[in-house]
Amino acid sequence: PTWNGNEFLLADGSRAIIRTLTPLRFDPDARQLDVEIVLHGHGPLSAWARSADPGSPVALSGPGRGYSIDTGAPAFLLAGDESAIPAMGQLLEALPREVPVQVCIEVAHSDAVLTLPAHPHAEVEWLELPADGTPGDAMAAAVQRTDVAPDTRVWVAGEAAAVQRIRRYCFEERGLPRAHATIRGYWKRGRAGDD
């Protein structure tokens, strides 16, 4: 595809399928970019990842909007599902080393538990979603039971309906200032992707 300044277009004029990923590592000298892709279902990214070989074409753009770290914050709360693990790993590497960080990660199965970058003051809680659970339930419950200071910075990403519940809880029930939170829906339950 070619980039027209606003979107990627294929030769026939149709829009290319786009997925947003968090880079794990970039080596500008080797011109290598490492990303992780969760293989799930039959969506376009999973299908591409299953069939990709070294040299398979892919178009890249970025960087995206990112996250500005408030280095003066007294504490951080990170919450997400499997789709947010790469971003949370980057945050753990970048957050101030002297500040406490609570991390809540919901996974569909214990096989998804990964080793995260070390942070001297991080408490990481892996939450396995019950077989009959709705994505985001365990993550939302974990956020609601946290005891965070009023000036804590909150970063949440995952299933859209779940993060919407967390957004309402943080802003409406807890009274967290909107400037202290970044809460993003990464995917929607029931939406398989673009065919």
Q: What is the residue-wise DSSP string for 116-143?
A: PPP-TTEEEEEEEPPTTPPTTHHHHHHH
- In the chain the beta strands, taken as DSSP E runs, fall at 2-3, 8-9, 25-27, 32-34, 76-81, 101-107, 122-128, 153-159, 181-187
- In this prediction, residue 179 carries a pLDDT of 92
| Stated pTM of the model | 0.82
Confidence bin at 194 (pLDDT 50/70/90): very low
- In this prediction, residue 160 carries a pLDDT of 93
- Say which range, 1-5, 79-83, 136-140, 179-183, has the weakest mean pLDDT: 1-5
pLDDT value at 139 more than 90: yes
Name the maximum alpha-carbon separation found in the chain: 54
Which residue would you say has higher pLDDT here, 121 or 131? 121
For a pLDDT cut of 90, what percent of the chain falls above it? 46
30 vs 44: CA distance, rounded Å: 28
Instruction: Let me know how many helices (H) and strands (E) the chain has, helices first.
Output: 4, 9
Closest of 34, 91, 78, 84 to residue 60, by C-alpha = 34
- In this prediction, residue 67 carries a pLDDT of 78
R_g of the chain, CA atoms, integer Å: 18
Confidence bin at 191 (pLDDT 50/70/90): low
H or E element, residue 160 = helix 160-168
pLDDT value at 195 more than 50: no
User: Rounded mean pLDDT of 126-152?
Assistant: 89
41 vs 61: CA distance, rounded Å: 25
Q: Which two tokens stand for residue 156?
A: 């949440």
* Site of tokens 């979603």: 129
